[in-house]
Chains A and B, each alone.
Chain A
């Protein structure tokens, strides 16, 4: 059974930083594209970033480019999201998701429960 468990969320002040983690199990993590998708309170879903299995290709939504960095540790089946220069607009539940690549594009076939990031003074 695929399991994705996020951690690291919390309350942070505007301009601050936070590092999210996702522990993966039940599938070939080192062979999978992975993603972070966020959901602002009471709102819809927004793709944030993808990373390829080797960690050499990374893609970001425009609103987080230069502030967020995705990374992975295949030896420990872990995915990370380093978030810097946070603003209120980044407040959301951040889900770790396994990516299914179809014709070079992404959809998300397994999701974690998510971790809440609140940016507020």
Chain B
């Protein structure tokens, strides 16, 4: 199985500031058939189920604010929130959709 490792485990960012979460896969998740990276990001707010934010590493799901962006390739990926809002407090998970799905351990994002 592909192991997904996120960093940091938690971070605190001031409102309006940038938040950056990293995700590393144990092997490349680059899909050779379409040259896209099979990496998704989810947001789980307290008491809520996960919500899909991004797939193919950088494609935003419909309705997701454009302050959320994804980047990276191969084994190293980043979720960036350009200007943190109060409603962004959540745990964020990466997931590879290259093989049998596996998730990162999660990164807890709080307001500083």
Which residues on the A side are within 8 Å of B98 (C-beta)?
A: 105
Whether A107 pairs with B101 at a CB distance below 8 angstroms is yes
Whether A107 pairs with B103 at a CB distance below 8 angstroms is no
With A44-B106, A45-B103 in contact, is A107–B49 under 8 Å at CB?
no
Whether B33 pairs with A109 at a CB distance below 8 angstroms is no
Report Cα–Cα, A59/B10, bound state, in Å: 33
Whether A105 pairs with B101 at a CB distance below 8 angstroms is yes
Whether A47 pairs with B56 at a CB distance below 8 angstroms is no
- Closest A residue to B106 using CB positions: A44
Which residues on the A side are within 8 Å of B55 (C-beta)?
A: 100, 102, 107
Report Cα–Cα, A98/B34, bound state, in Å: 23
**Is B17 an interface residue, CB under 8 A from the partner?**
no
**Is A72 an interface residue, CB under 8 A from the partner?**
no
Cβ contact of A114, chosen from B42, B49, B61, cutoff 8 A: B49
Whether B95 pairs with A107 at a CB distance below 8 angstroms is yes
Whether B99 pairs with A105 at a CB distance below 8 angstroms is yes
Report Cα–Cα, A45/B43, bound state, in Å: 12
Report Cα–Cα, A105/B96, bound state, in Å: 9
Report Cα–Cα, A47/B55, bound state, in Å: 17
With A102-B38, A102-B97, A105-B97 in contact, is A44–B105 under 8 Å at CB?
yes
**Is A46 an interface residue, CB under 8 A from the partner?**
yes
Contact with A along B44-79 (1 / 0, CB 8 A): 000011111001100001000000000000000000
- Closest B residue to A62 using CB positions: B1
Report Cα–Cα, A108/B49, bound state, in Å: 11
Cβ contact of B103, chosen from A44, A105, A111, cutoff 8 A: A44
Cβ contact of B100, chosen from A45, A47, A100, cutoff 8 A: A47
Report Cα–Cα, A44/B101, bound state, in Å: 13
Whether B104 pairs with A44 at a CB distance below 8 angstroms is yes
- A residues at B contact (CB < 8 Å): 44-47, 59, 61, 95, 100, 102-103, 105-114
